[in-house]
């Protein structure tokens, strides 16, 4: 099965890295949609269907925490599984993001294996 | 504000985070080394990250230019000769972000943390006092870090 992934990170380099890791992990991508912040992510979600969201937290304009808050309040988007990928692995932050509905939390730096395992878990698949 | 973390604690956390980031994300190893010569330091590509939360302060990191290009190529999976200056800037800013964030998460795991957007600075940019410095060497060149708590 091919998946549609929304990557939300203000660093184009990090988006490119994650996209490459996903492909190298054996996931078949139907589309990898990218957004530089939470506001752009919501805009893209309004136009594109996705299977999973990978989001950073610390971003300009709308950060990942506000994005998760808005996703959790949206009947259209709240069932899309979301995984946080962030340098911030403090306990208060992790608890808030899980409370907002994040189904996975990956702390940067991360291994390709941890990203693959998180995706397999939320997508209910194995590659 | 944390009252138990010392600048030396944070510097040690930065060293550990730098090793973890380089090894995990770039498959590169680094070893501690004596401070680099001033001439070499002034040629480095430098990034500054301010932080706030349980601790408030500033993190600075400088990369030897050759190392910055090698890291960028490794990160993006491209040839070193094909990386652009923009890509190098993006990768060293993201690397600074990861090292600073990972260090603070290690040392202040129960406190909130806020990081400023990493900014490129000149290596010769005037540095306020109170920084604890550490340098590391890789096969492609040196990295120098500095951190201070306000």
Structural domain boundaries in chain A: 2-120
Question: Per-residue pLDDT for B116 more than 60?
Answer: yes
Average pLDDT over residues B118-138: 83
The reported pLDDT for the residue numbered B76 is: 95
The answer to whether the CB of B97 falls within 8 A of the CB of B118 is yes
Of the listed ranges A19-28, A76-85, B77-86, B134-143, the least confidently predicted one is A19-28
Residue B6 — pLDDT band, cuts 50, 70, 90?
confident
Each residue's pLDDT, cut to its tens digit, for chain A (127 residues) gives: 899 999 999 999 999 999 999 999 888 889 999 999 999 999 999 999 999 999 999 999 999 999 999 999 999 999 999 999 999 999 999 999 999 999 999 999 999 999 999 999 998 876 5
The contact set of B with A (CB < 8 A) is 20-21, 24-25, 53, 72, 75-77, 87, 90-91, 93-94, 97-98, 100-102, 104-105, 108-115, 117
Question: Per-residue pLDDT for B1 more than 80?
Answer: no
The reported pLDDT for the residue numbered B4 is: 81
The reported pLDDT for the residue numbered A47 is: 96
The reported pLDDT for the residue numbered B124 is: 64
Question: All domains of chain B, ordered by start, with CATH?
Answer: 7-149 (3.40.1550.10)
The reported pLDDT for the residue numbered B32 is: 93
CATH architecture type of domain A2-120: 3-Layer(aba) Sandwich (3.40)
In total, the C-beta contacts within 8 angstroms joining chain A to chain B are 74
State how far residue A104 is from chain B, nearest Cα, in angstroms: 17
Average pLDDT over residues B110-115: 92
Chain B residue whose CA is closest to A107: B102
DSSP symbols for chain B = --SS--HHHHHHHHHHHHHHHHHHHH----EEEPPPPHHHHHTSEEEEEEEEESS-EEEEEEE-HHHHHHHHHHHHTS-GGG--HHHHHHHHHHHHHHHHHHHHHHH-TTS-EEEPPPEEEETTS---S--EEEEEEETTEEEEEEEEE-
User: Half-sphere exposure of A62 toward its Cβ, with a 13 Å CA cutoff?
Assistant: 17
What's the pTM? 0.93
The answer to whether the CB of A51 falls within 8 A of the CB of A5 is yes
Averaged pLDDT score across all residues of chain B: 91
State how far the Cα of A82 lies from the Cα of A121, in Å rounded to an integer: 11
State how far the Cα of A125 lies from the Cα of B99, in Å rounded to an integer: 32
The contact set of A with B (CB < 8 A) is 10-14, 16-17, 20, 58, 60, 86-93, 107-111
Instruction: Give me the residue from A11, A60, A90 closest to B105, CB to CB.
Output: A90
């Amino acid at each position: 099965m091919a998946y549609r992934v929304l990557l939300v990170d203000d660093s184009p380099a990090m988006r490119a890295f994650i996209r490459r890791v996903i492909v190298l992990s054996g996931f078949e991508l139907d589309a990898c949609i990218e957004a530089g912040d939470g506001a752009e992510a919501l805009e893209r979600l309004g136009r594109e269907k996705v299977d999973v969201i990978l989001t950073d937290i610390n971003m300009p304009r709308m950060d990942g925490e506000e994005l998760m808050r808005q996703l959790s309040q949206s009947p259209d988007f709240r069932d899309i599984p979301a995984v946080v990928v962030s340098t911030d692995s403090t306990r208060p932050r992790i608890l808030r993001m899980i409370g907002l509905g994040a189904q996975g939390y990956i702390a940067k730096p991360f291994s390709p294996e941890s990203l693959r395992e998180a995706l397999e878990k939320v997508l209910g698949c194995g590659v | 504000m944390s009252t138990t973390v010392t600048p030396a604690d944070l510097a040690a956390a930065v060293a550990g985070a730098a090793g973890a980031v380089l090894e995990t994300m770039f498959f590169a190893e680094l070893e501690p080394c004596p401070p680099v010569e001033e001439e070499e330091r002034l040629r480095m590509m430098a990034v500054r990250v301010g932080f706030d939360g349980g601790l408030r302060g500033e993190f600075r990191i400088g990369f030897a230019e050759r190392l910055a290009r090698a890291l960028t190529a490794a990160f993006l999976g491209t040839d070193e000769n094909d990386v652009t200056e923009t890509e190098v800037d993006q990768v060293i800013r993201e690397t600074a972000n990861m090292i600073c964030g990972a260090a603070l998460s290690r040392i202040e795991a129960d406190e909130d943390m806020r990081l400023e957007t990493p900014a490129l600075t000149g290596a010769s940019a005037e540095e306020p006092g109170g920084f604890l410095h550490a340098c590391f060497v890789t096969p492609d060149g040196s990295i120098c870090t500095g951190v201070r708590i306000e």
